[in-house]
């Protein structure tokens, strides 16, 4: 029997792959393909033969594969079938132990089976396919292409699942009974609030079956809603009836916990995914791509990077990008290493100084500048990586020592025989983003423009991270030498661009890696556009003219008032559009009161046409700060506007210095809440007359009529943020504190703040 439809979801069960197809008539069909993943083992032939005698090794065969990207000759390796990803990991550990951790080389161990299935079948999520069911096997015919820009998507039914509990404490816990379940649809809302707790759960199951949603959106579904439902179903003895997916499998996530991990110098926390088999569960709290780019952006990344939608929605940018690289590796017959195995090339001290220099930077003159134009290279680093063939296996490759392709300043050779895995992966991302940006400019339909914008924005996220990931220690096909080579090419590009601009009579105000701020007396937008075209033609790198500022302020360092800061500025374009970078308004840990104050100040300053007008408007802008300080002292600021959110770098009990987020986290734990290292914790700054001088805070959900807000510290935050904006004009923290008559801490009067309605 044949079916035509889109691949909605897929997952592995022992010995088979389950695929859900969304058909044109709105129905979904469950398909089963007899299929097993494989792992590969490299080593001496006699050791591999001996390994096949191990009873843990099931079905196997010898195959020829490239063990490393960039190799010119394939190796004979052992291919072993396994039932599941879990069995692959267990068997790999056993093989490692048997080989005393040195005899065998292991590959294809930790790539999720659904991704491997898609790679091997040349499929991708939401691909339009025709599939024929031939007994236990499926025969696929692709009717779609990842190259397609205006691709057709199925009509997907969406709901939002919300839950209210009968709280016995100030925070929700798994022990609370269910109060109300809400299902929000495009055409209305269903509310389940009658009967016993078991009745409510069973009615929810019936509702899911009747509505049959394709997408279930939650806020906190991974961390609370779905584990909570499973826990309550278990308490009521009906866990086996809690079926919310399309597969007839009960939801079993009530014992699942997330995990803390270290990445790029930070402790982060990731919730364990609560999947709904045959449906798409999207958790707003645990979503990376869709949080910024919506479902359109998520679908674009899932299709392009070949990663199942539910995994893609929760995966980091690096994980999504890696999937695309793994696909190209599989297509090239390159085995995927279990662990990264490309160390940095040896360098002496002089070579390190020459090589490890980063991008080129021309520091700005701090303060305000009139009539400045901004030119940005579009995806500079990814473009260089693609066009210069920069990948872990191509920089300083062993096959092309006399290659004419060299890295400037460093003279590294670049492979001229093979295209690298990283450049091949970047090519489709760069081409698709360029197409979407063009279509967005040309489209007259606002809805269509929005779709193109979300898709290109999602691709931009992947491209922005591609350079950093090239040098990431865990990147499968990256290497620090390729990272260094990319920087070397970028320095040449920016240096050449500045020289060409200066030859055209422009003066450089600031330059950083892939952006330039230039000025020229009397220059118009057309002059900047012509310069942009000249540079693009000469350098063969896409370049865009971002606009011409009426004025732009490059900010001083917060700690050294005379020092330059490279990426902190704000300015107004000719059309009055505001652009800000690096100020409090852009920080995730800035409380709403500071955001609102800065926004209102910048709104006033945005009416200035020049630096002289800007200076005359500063006193008016400062009145905004005075008004917010007055409202704070008079308890007129809603408590929600005082919330600060920061991440925990360790478990709450491990802090020796009681910082506000640790105090709030411990209070939440005392109330039965679950808080771990890497999670974000929200808090408000409070006072305790018995502990004057000590840091105090509480979680917003724990605040009550007895909570005393420390308004002095919030006024300090307002002063600090204002000084960040106006330090170049002589307004430091001391001067601003005097102008606001900020009292000494010992004279602070405890005042409560109203709760937001």
**Digit-coded pLDDT (tens) for 21-43:** 999 999 999 999 999 999 999 99
Count of other CB atoms within 10 angstroms of residue 159 = 22
16 and 67 housed in the same domain: no
Among the residues of 55-174, which ranges form H helices?
Answer: 85-98, 113-121
In this structure, what DSSP letter does residue 431 have? H
Res 753: pLDDT: 41
- Cα 566 from Cα 582, distance rounded (Å): 9
Residues 246-260, mean pLDDT to the nearest whole number: 71
Choice between 750 and 254, residue whose per-residue pLDDT is larger? 254
What is the pLDDT averaged over residues 571-592? Answer: 95
Task: Supply the pLDDT for residue 437.
Answer: 95
- Is the same domain home to 697 and 728? yes
Q: Is 142 exposed, middle or buried (0-12, 13-18, 19+ CB in 10 A)?
A: middle
- Examine the domain organization and report whether 358 and 488 are in the same domain: yes
Separation between Cα atoms, residue 485 and residue 357, nearest integer Å? 10
CA distance 700 to 733: 28
- How many percent of the chain have pLDDT more than 70? 92
Assess whether 578 and 515 both reside in one domain.
yes
Instruction: For residue 512, tell me if it sits in a domain.
Output: yes
Confirm whether 721 is domain-assigned: yes
Angle at 702 between CA 696 and CA 706, to 5 degrees: 70
- Where b means 16+ CB within 10 Å and e means fewer, 250-276 reads bbebbeeebebeeeeeebbbbbbbbbb
Give the count of beta carbons closer than 10 Å to the beta carbon of residue 674: 16
Q: Is residue 96 part of a domain?
A: yes
Calculate the CA dihedral of residues 240, 246, 248, 253 and round it to 10 degrees: -40
In this structure, the answer to whether residues 9 and 85 fall within a common structural domain is no
List of residues 6+ apart from 623 with CB closer than 8 A? none
Average pLDDT rounded to a whole number, residues 603-632: 96
Cβ atoms within 10 A of the Cβ of 659, count? 16
DSSP 271-295: PPP---TTSEEEEGGG-SHHHHHHH
Q: Where are the alpha helices (DSSP H) in 521-610?
A: 525-539, 592-605
Last residue of a domain, one of 554, 582, 610: 582
Arithmetic mean of pLDDT, 600-627? 97
| Contact (Cβ atoms closer than 8 angstroms) between residue 672 and residue 171 | yes
Same-domain check for residues 374 and 481? yes
CB-based contact 512:362 (threshold 8 Å):
yes
Question: Given its phi and psi angles, is residue 13 left (phi above 0), alpha (psi -120 to 50 degrees) or beta?
Answer: beta
- Average pLDDT on 574-589 reads 94
Q: Is 64 helix (H, G, I), strand (E, B) or coil?
A: strand
- The mean pLDDT of the chain is 91
- Same domain, yes or no: 545 and 403: yes
Same structural domain, 718 and 681: yes
Same domain, 539 and 683: no
- What percentage of the chain reaches a pLDDT higher than 90? 76
Residue 486 contacts residue 463 (beta carbons within 8 Å): no
Looking at the domain assignment, is residue 289 inside a domain?
Answer: no
Which residue segment(s) compose the domain that 18 sits in?
2-35+127-138
Q: Hey, is 156 helix, strand or coil?
A: coil
Q: Which residues of 180-207 are buried (b: 16+ CB within 10 A; e: fewer)?
A: ebebeeeeeeeebeeeebbebbbbbbeb
- Tally the residues of the chain: 757
Band (360; pLDDT cuts 50, 70, 90)? confident
Among candidate residues 174, 179, 193, 278, the one with its CA nearest the CA of residue 234: 174
Phi and psi at 583, nearest 5°, equal -100, 175
Same structural domain, 6 and 79:
no
Dihedral pair phi/psi, residue 7, rounded to 5°: -75, 110
How much is the pTM?
A: 0.90
Does residue 244 lie within any of the structural domains? Answer: no
Whether 657 and 732 map to the same domain: the answer is yes
Same domain, yes or no, for 727 and 637? yes
pLDDT for residue 704 is more than 50? yes
Q: Which of 115, 138, 161 is the last residue of a domain?
A: 138
Token pair 């020796």 is found at 656
Predicted confidence (pLDDT) per residue in 189-219, tens digit: 999 999 999 999 999 999 999 999 999 999 9
Domain-embedded: residue 544: yes
- Which CATH number characterizes residue 491's domain? 3.90.1600.10
3-class secondary-structure state, position 163: strand
Is 696 part of any domain?
yes
> In the chain, how many domains are there?
4
In which element (H, E) is residue 375 found? Answer: strand 367-377
β partners of residue 373 = 518, 548
Tokens of 245: 């997916």
| Residues whose CB is less than 8 angstroms from the CB of residue 257 and which lie 6 or more positions away in sequence, other chains included | 272
CATH number of the domain that 719 lies in? 1.10.132.60
The predicted structure's pLDDT at residue 706: 87
* Predicted local confidence at residue 33, as pLDDT: 97
Cβ atoms < 10 Å from Cβ of 754 = 11
One DSSP character per residue, 442-463 reads: H---HHHHHHHHHHHHHHHHHH
- Rg of the chain over CA atoms, in angstroms? 29
| 603-to-199, 574, 608, 615 alpha-carbon distances in Å | 54, 15, 10, 14
Residues forming a β-bridge with 334? 66
Per-residue CA distances from 716 to 300, 534, 684, 738, 748 (Å): 44, 49, 14, 12, 13
Residues 6+ apart with CB under 8 A from 246: 20, 28, 30, 212, 276, 277, 278, 279
Ramachandran angles phi, psi of 184, nearest 5°: -100, 125
| Residue 598 to residue 584: CA distance in whole angstroms | 8
User: Distance between CA 681 and CA 677 in Å, rounded?
Assistant: 10
Question: What are the tens digits of pLDDT across the range 271-307?
Answer: 678 899 999 999 998 888 888 899 999 999 999 999 9
Residue labelled with tokens 């066009």: 387
First to last CA, the chain: 58
- Structural domain contains residue 283: no
Domain's final residue, options 582, 603, 636: 582
Q: Is the pLDDT of residue 750 over 50?
A: no
pLDDT of residue 340: 63
44 has a pLDDT exceeding 90: yes
Q: How many CA atoms lie within 13 A of 520 on its CB side?
A: 16
């Amino acid at each position: 029997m044949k079916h035509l439809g889109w691949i909605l979801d897929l997952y592995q069960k022992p010995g088979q792959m389950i695929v859900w197809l969304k058909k044109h008539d709105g129905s979904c069909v469950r398909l089963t393909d007899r299929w097993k993943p494989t792992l590969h083992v490299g080593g001496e032939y006699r050791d591999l033969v001996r390994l096949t005698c191990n009873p843990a090794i099931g079905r196997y065969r010898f195959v020829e594969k490239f063990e490393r990207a960039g190799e010119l000759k394939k190796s004979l390796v052992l291919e072993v079938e396994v039932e599941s990803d879990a069995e692959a990991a267990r068997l790999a550990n056993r093989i490692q132990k048997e080989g005393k951790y040195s005899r065998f080389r292991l590959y294809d161990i930790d790539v999720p089976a659904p991704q491997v299935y898609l790679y091997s079948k040349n499929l991708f999520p939401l691909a339009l396919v025709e599939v024929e069911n031939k007994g236990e096997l499926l025969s696929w015919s692709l009717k779609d292409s990842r190259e397609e820009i205006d691709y057709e998507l199925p009509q997907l039914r969406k709901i939002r699942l919300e839950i209210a509990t009968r709280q016995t404490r100030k925070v929700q816990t798994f022990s609370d009974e269910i109060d109300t379940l809400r299902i929000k649809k495009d055409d209305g809302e269903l509310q389940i609030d009658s009967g016993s707790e078991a009745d409510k759960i069973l009615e929810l199951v019936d509702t899911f079956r009747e509505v049959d949603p394709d997408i279930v959106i939650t806020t906190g579904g991974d961390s609370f809603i779905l584990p909570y439902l499973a826990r309550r179903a278990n308490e009521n003895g009906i866990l086996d009836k809690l079926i919310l997916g399309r597969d007839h499998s009960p939801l079993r996530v009530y014992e699942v916990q997330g995990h803390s991990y270290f990445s790029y110098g930070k402790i982060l926390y990731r919730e364990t995914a609560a999947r709904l088999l045959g449906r798409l569960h999207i958790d707003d709290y645990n979503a990376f791509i869709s949080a910024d780019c919506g479902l359109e952006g998520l679908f674009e990344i899932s299709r392009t990077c070949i990663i199942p939608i539910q995994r893609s929605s929760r995966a980091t940018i690096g994980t999504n990008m890696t999937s695309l690289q793994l696909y190209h590796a599989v297509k090239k017959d390159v085995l995927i290493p279990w662990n990264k195995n490309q160390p940095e090339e040896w360098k002496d001290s002089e070579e390190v100084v020459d090589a490890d220099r980063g991008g080129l930077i021309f520091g700005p003159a701090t303060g305000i500048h009139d009539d400045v134009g901004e030119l940005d290279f579009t995806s500079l680093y990814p473009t260089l990586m693609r066009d210069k063939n920069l990948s872990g296996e191509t920089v300083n490759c062993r096959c092309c020592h006399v290659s004419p392709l060299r890295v400037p300043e460093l003279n590294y050779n670049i492979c001229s025989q093979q295209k690298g895995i990283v450049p091949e992966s970047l090519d489709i991302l760069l081409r698709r983003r360029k197409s979407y940006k063009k279509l967005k400019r040309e489209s007259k339909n606002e809805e269509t423009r929005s779709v193109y914008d979300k898709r290109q924005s999602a691709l931009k996220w992947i491209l922005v991270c591609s350079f950093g990931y090239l040098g990431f220690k865990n990147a499968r096909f990256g290497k620090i030498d390729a990272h260094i080579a990319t920087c070397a090419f970028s320095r040449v590009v920016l240096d050449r661009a500045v020289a060409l601009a200066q030859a055209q009579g422009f003066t450089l105000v600031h330059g950083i890696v892939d952006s330039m701020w230039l000025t020229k007396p009397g220059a118009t937008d057309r002059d900047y556009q012509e310069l942009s075209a000249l540079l693009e033609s000469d350098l063969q790198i896409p370049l865009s003219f971002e606009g011409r500022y009426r004025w732009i302020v490059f900010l001083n360092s917060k700690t050294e008032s005379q020092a330059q800061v490279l990426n902190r500025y704000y300015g107004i374009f000719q059309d009055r559009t505001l652009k800000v970078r690096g100020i409090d308004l852009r920080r995730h840990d800035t409380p709403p009161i500071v955001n609102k104050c800065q926004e209102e100040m910048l709104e006033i300053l945005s009416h200035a046409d020049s630096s002289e007008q800007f200076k005359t408007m500063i006193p008016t802008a400062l009145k905004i700060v005075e008004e917010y300080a007055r409202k704070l002292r008079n308890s007129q600021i809603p408590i929600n506007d005082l919330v600060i959110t920061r991440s925990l770098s360790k478990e709450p009990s491990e802090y020796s210095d009681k910082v506000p987020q640790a105090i709030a986290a411990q209070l939440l734990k005392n109330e039965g809440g679950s808080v771990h290292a890497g999670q974000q914790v929200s808090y408000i700054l409070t006072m305790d007359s018995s502990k004057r001088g000590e840091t105090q805070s509480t979680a917003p959900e724990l605040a009550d009529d007895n909570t005393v807000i420390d308004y002095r510290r919030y006024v300090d935050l307002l002063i600090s943020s204002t000084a960040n904006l106006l330090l170049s004009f002589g307004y430091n923290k001391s001067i601003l504190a005097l102008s606001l008559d900020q009292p000494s801490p010992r004279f602070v009067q405890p005042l409560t703040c109203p709760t937001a309605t």
